[in-house]
Structure 1
Amino acid sequence: MNPSLFAARIGLSRGWIEFRQTVTNAQDLLFTIITTGALVLTLYFQRGSTVPGLELSLAAATLPGLLGLSLAFNGVIGAVGRLSVEREDGTLLRAKALPQGMLSYLVGCVVSLSLAAICGVVLVLAAGLFLVPELAGVGLGGWLTIGWVTVLGLTATLPWGAVIGSFARSPQAATGLSMLTFGGVAAVSGIFYPITALAGWLQVVGQAFPVYWLGLGMRSALLPDAAAAAELTGSWRPWQTLAVLLAWSVAGLLLAPPILRRMARRETGSLMQARRERASQRIG
């Protein structure tokens, strides 16, 4: 078997095992419940309000943005946090010692983090069926759109989270770097408001990143056609959404493995021990 295909197969198995461990770990499960509960509470408090000029509940208008932001956040921040912690505890050092180990590691991360993010989306949508009456009118085409936007959204963000995390020297630095990067991109993405409200050059910047297209794809699936009037060009642009998310996915999956391999080559037992000593000094 081709070594890369074999490594990818091992990564798939590893990702599934890690996901199962996540859903049975009390700390990870509590974090998922809290974050998902916060999104559901947002829908609950908005369920009685309507969008001015449209017969649409505020909860229905907010739901696509919540789903898109959740996927992007889990993709970028989840990968950064995972990489920084496993770099410090020696997981990366062990992975680089194996043939095609970094490819297998990356595939495993993508699988486990994707499954966790998809579970969050499913939970929010399940709650939305009770809190957002408009969801009952979403047809098969809308649900299929949610599916492919979710998959491409994760593959368009997770590898780039790994790339960002590879430049950080500690979990604390990784958190700061990723939050700063993600916050800046989200601010110009129009994830909760029409991007047309921003200056022209900010609209161009926002459309360059996958967060905007994640939100647009979710809105096209869950909102009525009349809501497209608030979008750029007055349409949902499904083919552009597909193309941009696919481009980010391919670029990330091609660039992340060599960047991670380059980072792993610099990893040594002494560097890992030095980071542990610095961490223990901060805690102490």
Structure 2
Amino acid sequence: MSAYAALSQAGYRAYTRDKTTLFFTFAFPLLFLVVFGLIFHGQNVEESGKPYINYIAPGVLSWGVANAAVFGVGFVLMQWRRDDILRLIRMTPVRLPAVLGSRYVLAIGIGIVQAVLFVCVALLPSFGLSLASSWPLALPVLVLGITAFLAVGVVVGTYAKTPEAVAAVANCLMIPMAFLSGSFFPLDAMPGWMQSLSRVFPLRYLNDGISAALTGSGGSGTIATSCAVLAAFALVFGAIALKTFRWSDKS
């Protein structure tokens, strides 16, 4: 068995055995969907006339997937480095791409399962989401979004030395970004300057791409733009993550 396969298998087993983390990874975004979906059920956004669910479902889904990617790899790398597991791995023939690649494939798998479960719930009559014919195009947007936010999580996990630090830094990044990128509140209802500010956040493009694929808003042009920008974010954050990665707190 290759080092990459062994690390991927170990990561999967560790993740599925942690029932608390497993539960909240999938339940947390659904909780937001239930709360916002029931509050705004049957209502339309005044500025666009579109149902709230068209904004809420893609936005909360995008935030949930991005959140899981950042927190998942951030906590794992911090713990491995704190417990000297990374230092021990470095003493073997295993290289950094195998370590990060094993976390990447796990993050992609978790994100896809999250998305499928979330959309299935959003399609229930209580919420009323209707899928557009372009819904399969959500997959490349999802993969690129997870890639970008996984790289952000690697940077967070590299510098944070305690679980509290990972949680604080990740929340400071993800919660304001969620509000400013339209995950919890439609961008159409925001002031113009906030809509312009949202363009510097990768979550804005993940929201736009997922929304365009699932609901048909924006069309294929929006999906293509979102994929291109997310790919650029992934390259930039990925380069930073590789440059700043540390095997030990002492290095």
Q: Normalised by the size of structure 1, how large is the TM-score?
A: 0.75
Structure 1: which amino acid aligns with 2:247? Answer: A
Identify which range, 38-47 or 58-67, moves more after superposition.
Answer: 38-47
Sequence identity percentage: 21
Q: Are 2:236 and 1:251 equivalent residues in the alignment?
A: yes
Q: Any conservation in 2 of the 1:11–1:106 contact (CA below 8 Å)?
A: no
Question: In structure 2, what is the Cα distance between the partners aligned to 1:170 and 1:134?
Answer: 40
Unaligned runs of 5+ in 2: none
User: How many Å apart are 1:174 and its aligned residue?
Assistant: 2.0
Secondary structure of 1:237's counterpart equals helix
The 3 A distance-change label for structure 1 pair 60 and 238 is closer
The 3 A distance-change label for structure 1 pair 67 and 203 is same
1:28 is matched with: 21
The 5 Å alignment of 1:142-157 reads: 142-157=134-149
2:200 is matched with: 208
Q: Any conservation in 1 of the 2:59–2:211 contact (CA below 8 Å)?
A: yes
The 5 Å alignment of 1:160-179 reads: 160-179=152-171
Give the structure with higher Rg (CA). Answer: 1
2:54 is matched with: 60
The 3 A distance-change label for structure 1 pair 41 and 180 is same
Q: Any conservation in 1 of the 2:74–2:156 contact (CA below 8 Å)?
A: yes
User: How many Å apart are 1:197 and its aligned residue?
Assistant: 2.0
Question: In structure 1, what is the Cα distance between the partners aligned to 2:20 and 2:182?
Answer: 33
2:34 is matched with: 41
| CA shift digits 1:138-188 (9 cap, x unpaired) | 21xx22221111100000110111112211222212221221122333332
Q: Deviating runs (4+, > 6 A) in structure 1?
A: none
1:112 is matched with: 106
Aligned match for 1:51, one of 41, 44, 52: 44
Identify which range, 9-18 or 105-114, moves more after superposition.
Answer: 9-18
Q: Any conservation in 1 of the 2:33–2:60 contact (CA below 8 Å)?
A: no
Q: Say how many residue pairs are matched.
A: 248
Q: Normalised by the size of structure 2, how large is the TM-score?
A: 0.83
Q: Are 2:182 and 1:182 equivalent residues in the alignment?
A: no
Aligned-pair RMSD on alpha carbons? Answer: 2.9
Question: In structure 1, what is the Cα distance between the partners aligned to 2:19 and 2:189?
Answer: 43
| CA shift digits 1:94-140 (9 cap, x unpaired) | 222233532221111122122222211111111122244442x421x
User: How many Å apart are 1:47 and its aligned residue?
Assistant: 6.8
Question: In structure 1, what is the Cα distance between the partners aligned to 2:60 and 2:150?
Answer: 18
The 3 A distance-change label for structure 1 pair 165 and 32 is closer
The 3 A distance-change label for structure 1 pair 180 and 28 is closer
Unaligned runs of 5+ in 1: 1-5, 229-233, 269-284
Secondary structure of 1:51's counterpart equals coil
Structure 1: which amino acid aligns with 2:92? Answer: L
Question: In structure 2, what is the Cα distance between the partners aligned to 1:187 and 1:71?
Answer: 15
2:80 is matched with: 86
Q: Are 2:233 and 1:239 equivalent residues in the alignment?
A: no
